[in-house]
Amino acid sequence: MGEPRKQKKKIGEIHLFSNLDENTEGIDEESISSPERIIAEVEAEIDKIELVGSVLLELQAETKQKVIDWATQLIINTTSEQVGRQWKKPKYISKKLKKENYLDLDIDKTIENIVDNPIDKINAIQVLHREKKGHSVLLIIDSSYSMSGKKLVMAAAAAATIAHLFDSTDIGIVHFGTKGTILKHFDAEESIQSTVEKIFNLIPRGLTNIYQGLKVGVEELGQRKQSSYTAILLSDCDVNTGKIPSVIAWKLQGLKIITFPPVNEFVADILQKETRGEIFHTAYVKDIPKILRKIFVETIV
C-alpha cells in the first residue's frame, strides 16, 4: 500500500478553526512555510490561535521556532489581560494591626474593612505579615496522541495563566502519554516564556495513561513542605493503557479536572468522585483563563 494521501489546506482558506477536522493527517508544507502567513491568519481573528497547535508538527525546525516564539508571546499577553493585576495571588498573609506591627499596609484589605465598618477605622487597619502563604500548584498535562492540535494550545494557556498568578518556584508541571515525565520541578526558577515554549515543543505521542501522570505528580508534590496545594489535570480522560487511575487519584484530594471533547465522562466522573474534586468542560482556548480564575478565586483568596 502507498503512503496515505495528505489533506491539503491553505491557511487563507480556513475560516473557522473550530470546524477544522482534527483527524486531518497533514497540511501542505508549501502553504504554511512562511511563519508570517500563519501569524497574519491568527491576528486576523484571535480565536484562531488554536490553529498553531495543528501546524506545529508540519513545520520545519526554523519555521517552527519562529511560530513558537510568536505564539508564546501571544499566549502570555492574552492570558495576562484576562488575569488582571487585581487577581494576583497574595504572597503574604494579611493580619490585623497590633502595637508591635510596623509593616507594610495591606491597602485593599484595609479599605474593605472600612467599607464594612466605617465607624471602627482603627481596627480596620491590616498589615502584610512577612510569612509566605506557601501554596503549591501541580499541573498535570495529558500529552498523548489524542492531545494533538488545539488541545496543546489549551495546555500552554493553562501554564501561562498559572505562571501569572504564582511564583515559579510554587509551580510543578508533569506531562504524560504512556509514561509520566516531569516538565518542571517545584522550586525551579523558570520564566513564563520558557515554560510555555516547553509545552509548545511537546510532541503528542503514546497512549493515555492517567495513572502514570497522577503517580509522577503525587511523587513531585511529596517533595514540597506546604500542605496547601491545588492539583489540576488537563485531559480528555480517554484512558487506554495503564492501571486504573482511581487507585492513585485519592492522594490528590480536590483535583480540578479540565476536560476537552471528545471526553470520556465515565473516567472523569470516577476521578471527580475519588478526589472530591471538580470537572470543567471546555472546547476553547479562551475559556482556560476563565476556568482557572474560578478555581483560584474560590480556593486561594
Cβ-Cβ contacts under 8 Å for 23 (sequence gap 6 or more): none
pLDDT digits (tens, 9 = 90+) for 19-51: 333 333 343 444 444 556 666 666 555 566 777
Asked whether residue 93 carries a pLDDT value surpassing 60, the answer given is no
Q: In the predicted model, is pLDDT for residue 17 greater than 50?
A: no
pLDDT digits (tens, 9 = 90+) for 186-198: 999 999 999 999 9
Assign 3-class secondary structure to 6-49. Answer: CCCCCHHHCCCHHHCCCCCCCCCHHHHCCHHHHHHHHHHCHHHH
78, 178 Cβ separation under 8 angstroms: no
Full-prediction pTM beyond 0.85?
A: no
Determine the residue type at 17: F
Spatial separation of the C-alpha atoms in residues 207 and 239, rounded to whole Å: 8
Q: What is the pLDDT of residue 102?
A: 45
Is it the case that residue 218 has pLDDT exceeding 90? Answer: yes
- Distance CA(235)–CA(230), nearest Å, equals 16
Look up the CATH number of domain 135-299: 3.40.50.410
- The whole-number average pLDDT for the span 117-123 is 68
**Would you state the pLDDT for residue 3?**
42
Q: What ranges do the domains of the chain cover?
A: 11-83, 92-132, 135-299
Provide the H-helix boundaries in 117-209.
Answer: 150-165, 192-200
Q: How many CA atoms lie within 13 A of 139 on its CB side?
A: 27
- The percent of residues above 90 in pLDDT, for the chain, comes to 43
The β-bridge partners of 173 are 139, 184
With beta carbons less than 8 A apart as the criterion, state whether 292 and 84 touch: no
Distance of CA 262 to the CA centre of its chain: 19
Q: What is the residue-averaged pLDDT of the chain? A: 78
Measured CA to CA, the distance from residue 141 to residue 220 in angstroms comes to 14
Residue with cell 504524560: 176
